Amino acid sequence: MLKKIAVVMLSSALLLGCATTSVKRTAVRIDASSIESAETSYKAMMRDRSEPDQQKLALAVLMLNMEGVKSVYEVVGNPELQSPSIGRIRAKVAGMTAEEIMELAARNPSGRIEVLVQ
């Protein structure tokens, strides 16, 4: 009988130990090995964020996609720019977390829109 009580108490202690340990989640990083893997890791990154944070991250990705674009004519002439995606900038954001992507976009000069009349 004493053996059974000892086994039950030991089992309970082990279960409680497992229940109270916290699992540390690692930040999702962009896997830039292919366009598909970049898209998959970006979707996983978005899934773990609140809606306002998702919007901030999406805006950062858009800003990085438009980096170096000087006019709307470039966007109209380049179908790749018409659908900005993480796949297009995957080499630039390889291995980065969402926070690092937003910091990178914030360090770059912001875009400017100008209307040219011809």
Rounded Cα distance between 26 and 35, Å, is: 22
**Residue 12: which pLDDT band, with cuts at 50, 70 and 90?**
low
For residue 62, pLDDT over 80 is answered with yes
For residue 21, pLDDT over 50 is answered with no
Looking at every residue in the chain, the average pLDDT score rounds to 81
pLDDT for position 15:
61
Rounded Cα distance between 32 and 71, Å, is: 28
Torsion of CA 94, 82, 79, 110, to 10 degrees: -60
Residues near 13 by beta carbon (within 8 Å), at least 6 away in sequence: none
Residue environment code for 30-56, b if the CB has 16+ CB neighbours within 10 A, otherwise e: bbbeeeeebbebbeebbeeeeeeeeeb
Rounded Cα distance between 49 and 39, Å, is: 16
User: Is there a contact between 1 and 64 (Cβ–Cβ < 8 Å)?
Assistant: no
**Tens of pLDDT along 74-83?**
888 888 888 8
With a threshold of 0.85, does the pTM exceed it? no
Rounded Cα distance between 58 and 90, Å, is: 14
